[in-house]
């Protein structure tokens, strides 16, 4: 592993003072590559905090461009019409020249998913579509890449850690694809709600990279207007009959049916 | 017995916008609690099917009993206890 | 109250779709003035999210300048040596021209505290020092200004809502000033930890401005390395013997002793 | 009985870095639990005074029983129950 430079000691000094994290955590961050799929309401704060915290290489994938209606929550962007992956990468570089922030201004899709995740240590799902969420999950399981998945809508959020050795996949937790999907554009979102989920995703990523996978299968749920805004839910682990990671391995027929229905093509592994 | 029923993920819309309420339940299994909620607690009965389908919770809705997935607790057979917290919410996909 | 412009409808459209918030919440935000004391690890994300969410006027108070060792967590800043209040105000203006972000590059102190909080509807304590935290509290109680106080250190955070009508003050919850104070500079802090507390503070501010004070006295505590990272703690309400807001009103002698010991001067009310 | 003892705000340093552990407690009041923790659970006895002062929890340390401030539960007189979660943490001031 590459050691820290003098500049990096100065930059990250306050983090290395945290006992559980320390210098060893900082060196692990420096030597890690994290993929951020989606540079929107989740990806912006998540990418900024991970870039500033010192993740050595960030791959940022987003094909979309910045619209006025994004600005209230996508706090890394300042320019209407810019590609979101490029805009977020630029914002990270402005703040921390010690890390590499690599923009991929392409759609994350079945035919390039596996290639985009080459040499990656951890994947962060910051997307806004259920079809892509299942695709990211299936690729992560196939490539044995841990996945931190966050989502937000209106005044609520959810976060789970998946696909680490022995852990469940997204399909284990959520076997039923919803009939009707609800996006932030159509159903609304409060800026600080998706923001807090994106920063939590960065916090969990930092913990994962420094200390490894969680001991228990759980999901964090957030609801700003609930009397108890945060809950940590104990979840069932791997589902033996999961069509992706179950006891009999990926069920090619069922997955093919799934992809035929929701994606253009079956993922290339 | 008193049971706290909390809903989220859009389900609050058929509960008159109420996210959390304490209901007086005569006791029984989750199956019985579900029937009670569907009949007595849901306010917009015309949209009951976003919550209940064929006598069970609609696929895609998470059921959490005292901060545990109900699959760990026996699902419909779980015997509801006084003071339980039951939360129904949808999987979110936005970002 | 001033109504929204056409530009604002476009900018804030996704927030107004959230049922509990709606157009009325957005209009209340536009007509509010919020003071952010401290533009560091808490103030940066808190200010960015509140500015982008549409709080009409933000007063940002910070005398300090940006140092390299701040950048890992103070994500609004990009320029070493810049004043932090000015840097945060500039970052907000870059993102949302609809709001006023007013920098006050002065120390928040006993002799200017009351004046800095003129015409303010809500105060956010984003500071890094216990003495200033008690000062902010005493002024907020005296001026009947609600206060949202957040703090973070190492891998943990705390947040409480104070000084609203009938609610407790900071001294009610924490009557004992610590003998030894621990700052982020000396004891370390992980970027996403203070970040998540700052965004939560913005989320609570948005809820407070749109819907009013909480029904119950509680504190949120966050601990990244705890098995249950978020807890919402029920707290005792107003303390009848509080030296600030207790049954007999502010105890001038005890407060004077306090200020003589920790501040240069007694606050000017 | 089994009691989960969680510590934070820097106190974990005298508990050998352990933030959360289940301890076997013979039962009694919070006063008795405090004595037990001070004697049997704290690992760095040389720094016990950052936690316990004059037989009570040091001023400035928050004591939370099952997610409630212990002032709501009777403080030292609270009768500890099997399965209780007790959290000791410090007030934070950083930002
Ligand atoms: Zn699976
Ligand atoms: Zn008070």
Question: What are the residue ranges in chain B where pLDDT is below 50?
Answer: none
Question: Using CA atoms, how far apart are residues A122 and A99, in angstroms rounded to an integer?
Answer: 16
Position D8 pLDDT exceeds 70: yes
Residue C180: its pLDDT value, please?
A: 66
Q: What is the mean pLDDT of chain C?
A: 94
From residue C241, alpha-carbon distances to A213, C20, C174, D77 in Å are 47, 37, 13, 21
Supply A249's token pair: 């391995």
CA-nearest residue to C228 within chain B is B67
Q: Cα angle at B84 between B80 and B87, to 5 degrees? A: 100
Q: What is the pLDDT of residues A34-92, one digit of tens each?
A: 999 999 999 999 999 999 999 999 999 999 999 999 999 999 999 999 999 999 999 99
CA-nearest residue to A198 within chain B is B95
Q: What is the pLDDT of residues D20-72, one digit of tens each?
A: 999 999 999 999 999 999 999 999 999 999 999 988 999 889 999 999 999 99
Distance of CA C257 to the CA centre of its chain: 26
Pairing status of strand C156-162 against strand D85-90: unpaired
Residue C264: its pLDDT value, please?
A: 47
Q: What is the pLDDT of residues A24-43, one digit of tens each?
A: 999 999 999 999 999 999 99
The secondary structure of A82-99, three-state, reads: CEHHHHHHHHHHHHCCCC
Supply C187's token pair: 């004891």
Position C262 pLDDT exceeds 70: no
Residue C254: its pLDDT value, please?
A: 85
The bound ligand whose nearest atom lies closest to the alpha carbon of A235 is 1
Position C121 pLDDT exceeds 60: yes
Top-confidence residue, C261 or A151: A151
Rounded distance from Cα A169 to ligand 1 centre (Å): 4
- Residue closest to C108 by CA, chosen among C138, C135, C79: C135
Q: Which residues of A touch B71 (CB under 8 A)?
A: 236
3-state secondary structure of C181: coil
Pairing status of strand A230-234 against strand C156-162: unpaired
First CA to last CA distance, chain D: 39
Contact present, A1 and A28 (Cβ < 8 Å): yes
List, as ranges, residues with CB under 5 A of the ion ligand 2.
C 169, 171-172, 242, 244-245
Complex confidence, ipTM:
0.96
Position A263 pLDDT exceeds 60: no
Q: Nearest-CA distance from C214 to chain B in Å?
A: 15
Residue C258: its pLDDT value, please?
A: 79
Share above pLDDT 70 across residues of chain C, in percent, rounded to a whole number: 95
Supply C80's token pair: 């070493």
Share above pLDDT 70 across residues of chain D, in percent, rounded to a whole number: 100
Residue A266: its pLDDT value, please?
A: 55
Which domains are assigned to chain B? 2-90 (3.10.20.30)
Chain C contact for A11 (CB, 8 A cutoff): yes
Chain C contact for D19 (CB, 8 A cutoff): yes
Confidence of residue C157 (pLDDT cuts 50, 70, 90): very high
- Strand ranges inside chain A, DSSP E: 33-37, 57-61, 100-104, 122-125, 147-153, 156-162, 218-223, 230-234
Q: What is the mean pLDDT of chain A?
A: 94
**Longest CA pairwise span in chain B (Å):** 41
Residue A179: its pLDDT value, please?
A: 63
Most A CBs within 10 Å, among C49, C74, C77, C94, to test the A interface:
C49
Question: Using CA atoms, how far apart are residues B19 and B60, in angstroms rounded to an integer?
Answer: 19
Q: What is the pLDDT of residues C209-252, one digit of tens each?
A: 999 999 999 999 999 999 999 999 999 999 999 999 999 889 88
CA C137, C140, C142, C146: dihedral to nearest 10 degrees? -120
Contacts of C55 (CB under 8 A, 6+ apart): C29, C30, C32, C33, C34, C99, C205, C209
Q: What is the pLDDT of residues A130-183, one digit of tens each?
A: 889 999 999 999 999 999 999 999 999 999 999 999 999 999 999 987 766 688
Q: Nearest-CA distance from A74 to chain D in Å?
A: 23
Position C185 pLDDT exceeds 90: no
Mean pLDDT, range C10-25, rounded to an integer = 97
Of A153, A221, A226, the CB nearest to B20: A226
Mean pLDDT, range A238-253, rounded to an integer = 92
**Longest CA pairwise span in chain D (Å):** 41
Mean pLDDT, range D73-86, rounded to an integer = 97
The bound ligand whose nearest atom lies closest to the alpha carbon of A250 is 1
Q: How many helices (H) and strands (E) does chain C have?
A: 10, 8
Concatenated DSSP letters for A162-193?
A: ESSTT---HHHH--S--SS---HHHH-B-HHH
Residue A264: its pLDDT value, please?
A: 47
Which runs of consecutive H residues, i.e. helices, occur in C65-190? 84-95, 113-116, 130-142, 170-173, 184-187
């Amino acid at each position: 592993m590459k050691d820290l430079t003098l500049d990096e000691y100065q930059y990250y000094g306050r983090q290395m003072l945290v006992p559980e994290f320390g210098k060893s955590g900082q060196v692990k961050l420096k030597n890690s590559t994290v993929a951020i799929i989606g540079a929107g309401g989740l990806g912006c704060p998540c990418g900024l905090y991970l870039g500033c915290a010192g993740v050595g290489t960030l791959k940022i994938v987003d094909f979309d461009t910045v619209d006025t209606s994004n600005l209230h929550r996508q706090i890394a962007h300042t320019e209407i019409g810019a590609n979101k992956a490029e805009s977020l990468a630029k914002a990270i570089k402005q703040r921390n020249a010690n890390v590499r922030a690599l923009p991929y201004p392409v759609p994350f899709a079945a035919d390039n998913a596996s290639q985009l995740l080459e040499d990656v240590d951890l994947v962060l799902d910051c997307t806004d579509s259920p079809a892509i969420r299942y695709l990211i999950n299936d690729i992560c399981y196939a490539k044995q890449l841990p996945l931190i998945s966050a989502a937000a809508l209106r005044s609520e959020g959810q976060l789970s850690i998946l696909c680490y050795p022995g852990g469940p996949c997204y399909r284990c937790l959520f076997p039923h694809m919803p009939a009707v999907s609800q996006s932030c554009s159509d159903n609304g979102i409060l800026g600080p709600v998706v923001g807090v989920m994106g920063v939590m995703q960065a916090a969990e990523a930092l913990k994962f990279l420094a200390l490894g996978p969680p001991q228990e299968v759980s999901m964090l749920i957030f609801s700003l207007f609930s009397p108890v805004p945060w809950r940590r839910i104990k979840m069932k682990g791997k589902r033996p009959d999961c069509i992706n990671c179950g006891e009999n391995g990926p069920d090619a027929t069922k997955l093919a049916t799934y992809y035929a229905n929701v994606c253009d093509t079956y993922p290339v592994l | 017995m008193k049971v706290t029923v909390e809903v989220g993920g859009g389900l609050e819309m058929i509960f008159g916008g109420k996210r959390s309420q304490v209901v007086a339940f005569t006791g029984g299994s989750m199956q019985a609690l579900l029937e009670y909620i569907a009949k007595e607690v849901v306010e917009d009965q015309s949209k009951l099917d976003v919550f209940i389908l064929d006598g069970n919770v609609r696929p895609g809705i998470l059921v959490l009993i005292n901060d545990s997935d109900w699959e760990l607790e026996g699902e419909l057979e779980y015997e509801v206890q006084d003071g339980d917290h039951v939360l129904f919410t949808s999987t979110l996909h936005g970002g």
